Amino acid sequence: MSGQSNEMVAKQFVDFYYQTFDTNRAGLTQLYTETSMLTFEGVQIQGPQAIQEKLTSLAFKTVKHSIVTMDVQPASASGGQGILVFVCGDLIVDGGPQTLKFSQVFQLMPHPQVAGSWFVQNDIFRLNYG
């Protein structure tokens, strides 16, 4: 994704992430590396295997995310190192009827081995209970 703006990288990432989350959670594993951290509802997990186990073991059959807002900032003062992506949205599990609000922050970093590719260094997810 070399040469693209942070906003374009973030938009592509977010579209891919939630589409994959809603259709094939195991497919998210490729986004994480050994240093990647996920904090999911306060539970901290590191590395692609543990993150996959967490995401695929969540206790619902189906989920549908809808993005309400996406904010993007360059994550480093020195420029070009990372991209901070902050998403707020709605989700419905197992067909509803309740819509839950969530917030999620990602820090994307350039992949050290794959030029123009990005991985998720930081991922923090919270439901916003009403």
Binding site for a second copy (CB under 8 A): 33, 35, 37, 39, 42, 44, 69, 71, 73-77, 84, 86, 88, 101, 103, 105, 107, 109, 121-122, 124, 126, 128, 130
The CA dihedral of 33, 35, 39, 45, to the nearest 10 degrees, is 90
Minimum gap (Å) between residue 23 Cβ and a second copy? 25
The residue among 86, 130, 128 whose CA lies nearest residue 104 is 86
Which residue number, 58 or 68, has a Cβ lying nearer to a second copy?
Answer: 68
Which residue number, 2 or 69, has a Cβ lying nearer to a second copy?
Answer: 69
Minimum gap (Å) between residue 119 Cβ and a second copy? 9
Minimum gap (Å) between residue 27 Cβ and a second copy? 22
Residue type, 105: V
Paired tokens of 42 = 């306060």
The residue among 123, 104, 126, 124 whose CA lies nearest residue 33 is 123
Which residue number, 24 or 35, has a Cβ lying nearer to a second copy?
Answer: 35
Query: 90, 98 in Cβ contact below 8 A?
Result: no
